[in-house]
Every structure is written in structure tokens, then in C-alpha cells.
Structure 1
Amino acid sequence: MTVEAELAFSVSDLAQMRFAVSPMWEVGPSLRLLRSGSGHPVHRPWAVQVRPRLAAAGLDRGRLAELVPPRGYVPDFLNPAPAGPAPTLEEEVARIEAASPAQVRRDLDRLGDEQGRLGPRTRALYADPRAGLARVTAEITAYWELALAPYWARMRAVLDADVFQRTRHVAEYGAARLFNDLHPSVSWGDNALRLAHRGRPLSRGAAGAGLVLIPSVFTGPGPFTRVTPPEPPQLAYPARGTGSLWQPRGASTGSRALAAVLGRSRTALLTELESPASTTELALRTGLSTGGVSQYLTALRDAGLVSAHRAGRSVLYARTSVAESLLAASREVDPRGAR
């Protein structure tokens, strides 16, 4: 059964409304997508790369997997209200570890009621929340490093662009335009935010003050909400631009100009890192020696152009936002350097 939830707003609530980018709001939805086995039309390129790593690490059947079921409720303690506009994963993990045993057990009671039972690892968490949370957050960190950190620069660009565009619309057209443009199931009227097709009612009396709006590339097709007073309610919604997130960007003709600065081999490696890859994979793709690739990647990492992420026994290298900007600028340059 679904209901239309209504969250009333006072002037104070509107004044406390804010946006935030949250790593944890990508962790749960992305893990659910990977475990579903579906070939998601937008996220298929990412899932094809990540799903084998997930299985090899056993993270598709661990503690975190038990807490993120194929559908339905995910424990609220996994998504603490972001303390600022862009908390790091480490900051959010620390908030999760600080969750009270009472909250953990309350959330797990609801999870068990909705799923029919708790898994063995989740029952151990219920029995000893303090020790169990440390194990859960260790898995969160491992999952992040394997599945999301190598892609975070690209994801973050989409999320930041969404926030920028929507905050500009607030300045130009007001909050009502913002709410009515978030998602077809979200609407604004009579000083209240309405959410259609919600499983539970929603009221300001059962929520904290204000509202945190969180764009997410993996939340979809509809928005998710979290209401745990005294924290402000959270509304995670599908970010604009997600549809083109994994589209290949291709090597640019300007790579010749870039090669004149970085060198041909380093430039070739940057263009090959359209998706994260290991040293061995890059050597096979480029024809460079493994030792040479390792040396060039070290130089690129020292320059802040690539980042390294542990994935089981391998290390995956990914372009940073600095490298993405550099390559984007090079696309505007022809082979002779003329604009």
C-alpha cells in the first residue's frame, strides 16, 4: 500500500533547507543495483566492470549486503544527515560508527519486520552493535574503494553540476520551482512538500527541522527519503546528467598539444583511463612495458592527475577531476594548437 506523504514547511524550515552531496547515498543504491543482476540501461558500463570485483571480494554476500536488501527499507543509521555540503566517506563512516545501540536495534527491528527475518551477520550486529558497526564500516570502506572511489571524480562532477543548476533556479524562480522540478512524484503547494507513492506517511511532527536535498546518480527511478528526528529529513533524488555519466568521451585531437606538455606515453595513459584500469591492463592496451606504465602512473599520480584504488589484489588507477578538466580543455584545441 502506498500513500501520498505531506511534509509541512514553516518559514524556519525553508530557511534551513540545504543541498548536500553524500557518498553514503551512493553506496546503498549502487550495491542494490549490482546485486540485482539487472543490466541497467544507464549504469551497465559501470556494473560490467564492478560486478566481478564485487563477487571476487565477497562483498555481494557480506554484512553490508544483508543490510541493503534487494528492495524496501535500508536501516536509517547507514545514512546519517550530512553535516556539511560535501562530507567525505570517512566523515560519514565515523557518524555510522557513532550510532547508538538503541537506534541500530530499532532500525534492525524494522528491517526484520519488512524482510521477514534478519540474516546471520545482521543478527550478530543486533546482539553487539558496537563491535558489529566496526565490521560494517570496514566493509563500507572496502566497497567504496572497489566500486565507487575510482569513479568518484566523474560522479562528483555530475552531482556538483546538479546542485549548481538547482541552486541557481532557487535564486531565479524560488523554492516552489525547485520542488516541482525535482521529480514527477514530488510537488509543492500550500506550504507543504508532497511525495506520491510513499510507503509510509510523513509529517513535520515526526521529522526534524528543515530539509536536506541530496542528488544521487544511483538513486532512481524515484526519490528516497529518510526521517529520523531530531535530524532534518533527507530527500535523495536522481541527479540531472546521470544519463550521460558513463558515455565514452573519447580521445581528442588536442591530445597532440597535450602530449607536447606531458609526453606521448603519459597522455596515452590518461586517454586510456576512460574507465579505471590496472597497470597490466594499461600495458596491454597501450603496448608500453608494465614497468614503463608503472613509472608513468607514479609521475601522473604525483602530479595529481590520477588516483590509485585497491581492488582485491589489484590496484586500479583512475583519472582525477584535474585530469578530466585538462582533457576537456584539450578537446577545444586542434592539432596545430589553434582554437
Structure 2
Amino acid sequence: MIEYELVDHDLGEVRFAISPLNELVLSLRTLRDPGRFPLQLPWLRATEAARAELQLDVLRALTNDAMWTPDFLTPRPYSPLGRIDDELAALAKTPDEVVRADLAEVHPAAVPAVLRGRPATVIARMLAALREYWDACFEPYWQRMRTVLEADVVHRGRVVAQSGLAVMFADIDPHVRLEGSVVYVRLRSNHSYRVSTAGRGLTLVPCLFSRRASAPISPEESPQIMYPARGLATLWETETTVPVNALADLIGRARARLMGLLDAPSSSTELAVRLDVTPTAVNQHLRALRAAGLLTSARHGRSVLYRRSDLGDRLLRGSGGRADQSSW
């Protein structure tokens, strides 16, 4: 059990961040055991040819049979606006002793041959393999992935504002809870420690490649909880259904389809991908729906996220739900 003690139950101690590097490294689990990640199978199929050209021996060596990865490869991010170039540059500066210790922790019997040698050489080999992996398999899809992660952060912030920290922690994962001023994270492993977040804070990181909450196994690492992001099931969907004819007749089929998608906060880019249209076309309708009071919007980083308003919810329910299929 990992225990993080918040100073005076301070809300300011808790922050959210998004890490491209974390997603990249945690996704390596899907290469080892794709069957454990059924929601990512569309992405795995789409990137299969590209992966064949990568340094798979290095990439696969970065996880073990228990799906652990070295802690130094998933450092605590400090912003919801993290960039892969910055994170890879920081990774290159990992101290030699940390590289050795973390690799030995993940591979206690024997470190794989591709990860042996001088730490500087090993780090350079990892960076090259991870950079190629990002360019081939993540860069084309990152905007879509980031949208889901940002929507999760907006949702969690709303839960904190409306219901408090304890409800938010209980909602992110069944293995996380807040009791008094202590956050408890139950891991699959036997690792256990208790540390204070004083002066460091606690960072919460939504992830697309995690099945349950996790935390660093070393108390020396910065306090951090990675947890499964909301909306993962919709990540690779292409929407084809539309609301029933009554709503479509009232506001038009394009706007009715958008209304049906906005149960959770989404950006115009994500909506365009799901509807297979251009963001420009989506934005025109989003502006009109927001002006009519049927949507709300909030800026998060570089994105504007939209969601149905209470009025929009009532209108959609009054139309009777969803029915036939139609083109945009």
C-alpha cells in the first residue's frame, strides 16, 4: 500500500498533469500482452506495419512479465501541456545510479542484454527507440489521445469543485481512497511506504494505457498517481448514429448528432474525428448550439472543450433518445 499524506488536507497539494512520455512508455504493455488491452486493439491494428520497423527488442525490454516499467521512464509531469520533446530531453539527464537501480528493480534476475552497458549508452539506446516509436505510432494519433485526457482532467476538476477531494479520489479508481489527510493507493505488488507531499505536492495523471491506478514503487520518486482516463472506450470510435427525427427536424441532423455525442467534454478536433468531418464544419455548429444555450464550453490548455448544458440534456431526453443512421 502506498500512502501519501496531504499537508492539512490542502487542495493546493493536488494537481493534474498529462504526460506524452508516460503514455508512450505505458503503451509498451500492449506489445507484451495485447489481449489485456482490448480497447486499444484498433490502434494496435492501425500501427502494426509501422511497429515492424522499430527496435522492438529494446522496447519490449522496457517492461517485464508483471507489466512493470522502470520508474525513471514515467517521471512526474508538471503540466497538462506536456511536450514529448521536453520529456525526452529530461529523460536523457537521468542519473546513472537511477538507471541502474530501476532496471535492476524491473529485471531482478537479469537485465536484458539490450539494456546492459554504460548507463549513458543505455539511455541513448532507449531514447532512439522511444523517439522512433513516438513518430511512427503516436504522433499521428496524439491529438485524439490528448483530447480524451484533457476531458478527463476537466471532469475531475468539476467533481472536486462540486463534491470535494474525497469523492474525486474515490471516483478515479477503486484502488484509491482518501481518508482524513492520507491518500491510499493499493498496488498489485507488495511495495509499501508512506511519505508526505509537503513541498512536492501530489500529481494525478490520467492514462490511456492503464487498467488500474498505480504509483511509483520507490518512496524517493515524486508523489504521483496514474489512473485510467474516462472515455477510453470512445477513443477509437467513429460515430454513425444520430438522435431521433424529432430533434433532427428541430435543429438539423448535423447539430442533433453533435448533441448526442456531448455526454462528456470533447473538443472540436475529437468530434470531427468521430464524425469523419473537418473541425471547421464542427465548429460552425458548436458555436450555434452554444449561442442557443444547448452547450457549455471551457478552455483547457490549448483546447476548448464542449458539453451539453442542462437545457441540452432536457431537449435530448424529450426527443426520445437515438434511432436511425444518417450521413453528416
Superposition TM-score, scaled by structure 1 size:
0.68
Partner of 2:38, secondary structure, is: coil
| Counterpart Cα distance in 2 of 1:327 and 1:184 | 40
The answer on whether the counterparts of 2:61 and 2:115 sit within 8 Å (CA) in structure 1 is yes
Cα 1:170–1:69 shift into 2, 3 Å: same
Give the one of 47, 71, 75 matched to 2:70.
Answer: 75
Deviations 1:184-223 (A, max 9, x none): 1111112111223441113116997321100111111x11
Separation in 2, partners of 1:196, 1:208: 24
- Sort the Cα spacing of 1:151 and 1:251 in 2 relative to 1 into closer, same or farther, 3 A: farther
Select 1:194's aligned residue among 177, 180, 184. Answer: 184
* 2:104–2:110 CA contact under 8 A, matched in 1: no
Corresponding position of 2:103: 108
The residue identity in structure 2 corresponding to 1:75 is P
Aligned residue in 2 for 1:49: 46
8 A contact 1:227–1:233 mirrored in 2 = no
1:212 to 203, 212, 215: 203
Q: Is the 8 A contact 1:36 1:70 kept in 2?
A: no
Partner of 1:328, secondary structure, is: helix
After TM superposition, give the deviation of residue 250 of structure 1 in Å: 5.2
Offset of 1:328 from its aligned partner? 3.3
1:208 and 1:201 map into 2 onto residues whose CA distance is 21
* Residue identity opposite 2:208 in structure 1: V
Structure 2 CA distance for partners of 1:330 and 1:68, relative to 1, 3 Å: farther
Find the residue that maps to 1:236 and give its secondary structure: strand
* Equivalent residue number for residue 257 of structure 1: none
> One-letter code of the match for 1:29?
L
TM-fit CA distance, 1:104: 0.7
Q: How many residues align?
A: 257
Please tell me whether the aligned partners of residues 15 and 202 of structure 2 are also in contact (alpha carbons under 8 angstroms).
Answer: yes
Deviation at 1:155, TM superposition (A): 0.6
The answer as to 2:14 corresponding to 1:17 is yes
The residue identity in structure 2 corresponding to 1:65 is R
1:150 and 2:145 matched: no
Amino acid at match of 1:215: P
> SS in structure 2 opposite 1:43?
helix
Equivalent residue number for residue 95 of structure 1: 90
- Three-state SS of the structure 2 residue aligned to 1:6 is strand
CA 1:101–1:207: 2 relative to 1, 3 Å: farther
TM-score normalised according to structure 2 size: 0.70
Query: Partners in 1 of 2:181 and 2:240 — Cα distance?
Result: 47
| Equivalent residue number for residue 184 of structure 1 | 174
Unaligned residue ranges in structure 2 (runs of 5+)? 243-268, 289-327
Aligned counterparts of 1:158 and 1:238: Cα–Cα separation in 2? 11
Aligned to 1:84: 79
* 8 Å Cα contact 1:207/1:233 also seen in 2: no
CA distance in structure 2 between the aligned counterparts of 1:30 and 1:197, rounded to whole angstroms: 19
Q: Summarize the alignment of residues 230-249 of structure 1 with structure 2, pairs less than 5 Å apart.
A: 232-249=222-239
Cα distance, 1:231 vs structure 2: 5.2
| Residue 107 to residue 39, structure 1, CA distance change in 2 (3 Å) | closer
Q: Distance in 1 between matches of 2:222 and 2:94?
A: 16
Structure 1 counterpart of 2:111, one-letter code? L
The Cα of 1:236 is off from its aligned counterpart by 0.8
Aligned Cα root-mean-square deviation (Å): 3.0
Unaligned runs of 5+ in 1: 253-304, 306-317, 334-338
Tell me, what secondary structure is at the counterpart of 1:214?
strand
What SS is found at the alignment partner of 1:84?
Answer: coil
Is the CA contact 1:29–1:218 (under 8 Å) kept in the aligned structure 2? yes
> Aligned ranges for residues 59-70 of structure 1 at < 5 Å?
59-61=55-57, 63-70=58-65
Q: 1:141 aligns with which of 131, 134, 138?
A: 131
For residue 291 of structure 1, what is the aligned residue in structure 2? none
**Given the superposition, is the C-alpha separation of residues 17 and 31 from structure 1 closer, same or farther in structure 2, using an over 3 Å criterion?**
same
Q: 2:121: which partner in 1?
A: 131
Of 106, 115, 118 in structure 2, the residue corresponding to residue 122 of structure 1 is 115
CA deviations 1:35-65 (Å, max 9, x no partner) are 32427431111111113321x214322x232
Deviation of 1:71 after TM superposition, in Å, equals 2.4
Partner SS, residue 237 of structure 1:
strand
CA offsets 1:81-113 (integer angstroms, 9 cap, x no match): 213232100111011100000111111221221
Name the CA shift for 1:39/1:103 in 2 (closer, same or farther; >3 Å): closer
Tell me the distance in 2 between the aligned counterparts of 1:80 and 1:227.
12
